[in-house]
């Protein structure tokens, strides 16, 4: 990505492109990956809602209007203005406006870790006494204000992640654990979304046994289930996560060797240096230089692709070639 001091609009009516002002690791290293993203949509009466990605979980907020929702199990719901509803990634509901509607929804890839804890851990422990209950909650005023002011055109991954954290903090503040347990019931247990559970909890566990215990599974079954879902062994996957985390920290340029070793679960700086040489075949200084070169080449390529994309858009709209 390129540094920009202001947002740049490609054409009137097109979604605004923006660039992270500090090139944080999320935006700089992950490029266009959005771990969380907010969307807004205005629907006329009778219009269907489209655009929800199957690979993400969704929270749909209805700020105005009325919606008819039909789930894959053929259950029918009416969502009124001032209500929100949760849909797991396995759900593909049909949503139609019964009256002019203003909608905001959040796509998020997995459960959140707030203050080193799984945000839904207390809700999972509490459990939902009525699992058949519709996953609907009222939208409290502070949440509504935040959603109205969401800058959905901000194409900066870290902006949407920060707003996701803000939303979950508000939900934890205004709803009880039992209400959240019923709302998120479809993804509370690792059996519902094993990948999301692992991705949300592996950084907060010291050993493989700790993660298995959190999942309420035996270590042997956890290892078997992990291989089925991820396609690799637990050890290989964890090492890969450490490799990617080390690269992100080096690119961020704000961690000393001791802090990096601590965050990676290594015993000392010496262990960190050895890990780098074993996994990347070079020193950390050399790895950092390589990442900078690759990042620069990636930004140059993105700028070139963007130039030709704009040029193609111009030509296909009836310019000099027409």
Residue 11 has what pLDDT? 36
Q: Is the backbone of residue 294 left (phi > 0), alpha (psi -120 to 50) or beta?
A: alpha
Q: For the packed helices 219-230 and 194-201, what is the interaxial angle rounded to 10 degrees?
A: 110
* pLDDT tier for residue 272 given thresholds of 50, 70 and 90: very high
- 163-216: per-residue pLDDT in tens? 998 999 999 999 998 899 889 888 776 655 677 677 766 766 667 887 787 776
Q: What angle do CA 200, 147, 161 make, to 5 degrees?
A: 30
Asked if residue 263 has pLDDT above 90, the reply is: no
Which range (7-16, 19-28, 235-244) has the least confidence? 7-16
Residue 195 has what pLDDT? 75
Residue 110 has what pLDDT? 64
Asked if residue 225 has pLDDT above 70, the reply is: yes
- 154-178: per-residue pLDDT in tens? 777 888 888 998 999 999 999 998 8
Dihedral sign for Cα 8, 9, 14, 16, please: positive
Global pTM reads 0.58
> What is the Cα Rg of the chain in Å?
22
> Which residue in 47, 136, 41, 42 sits closest to 98, CA to CA?
47
Query: 96 - beta bridge partners?
Result: 48, 68
Higher pLDDT, 80 or 120: 80
């Amino acid at each position: 990505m390129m540094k920009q001091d202001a947002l740049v609009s490609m054409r009137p009516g097109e979604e605004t492109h923006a660039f992270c002002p500090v090139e944080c690791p999320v935006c700089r290293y992950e490029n266009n990956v959005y771990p969380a993203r907010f969307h807004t949509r205005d629907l006329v009466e009778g219009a269907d809602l489209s655009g929800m990605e199957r690979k993400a979980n969704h929270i749909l907020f209805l700020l105005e209007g009325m919606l008819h929702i039909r789930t894959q199990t053929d259950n029918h719901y009416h969502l009124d203005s001032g209500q929100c509803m949760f849909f797991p990634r396995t759900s593909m509901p049909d949503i139609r406006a019964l009256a002019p509607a203003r909608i905001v929804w959040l796509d998020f890839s997995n459960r959140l870790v707030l203050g080193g804890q799984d945000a839904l851990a207390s809700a999972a422990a509490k459990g939902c006494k009525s699992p058949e209950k519709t996953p609907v909650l009222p939208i409290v005023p502070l949440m509504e204000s935040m959603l109205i002011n969401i800058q959905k055109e901000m194409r900066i991954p870290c902006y949407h992640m920060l707003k996701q954290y803000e939303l979950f903090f508000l939900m934890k503040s205004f709803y009880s654990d039992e209400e959240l347990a019923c709302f998120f019931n479809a993804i509370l247990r690792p059996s519902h979304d094993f990948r999301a559970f692992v991705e949300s909890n592996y950084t907060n566990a010291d050993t493989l046994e700790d993660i298995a215990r959190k999942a309420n599974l035996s270590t042997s079954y956890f290892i078997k289930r992990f291989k089925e879902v991820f396609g690799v062994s637990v050890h290989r996957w964890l090492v890969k996560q450490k490799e990617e985390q080390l690269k992100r920290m080096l690119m961020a340029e704000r961690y000393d060797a001791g802090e990096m070793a601590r965050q990676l679960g290594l015993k000392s700086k010496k262990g960190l240096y050895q890990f780098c040489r074993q996994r990347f075949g070079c020193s950390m200084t050399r790895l950092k230089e390589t990442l900078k070169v690759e990042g620069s080449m990636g930004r140059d390529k993105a700028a070139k692709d963007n130039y030709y994309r704009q040029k193609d858009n111009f030509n296909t709209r009836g310019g000099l070639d027409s």
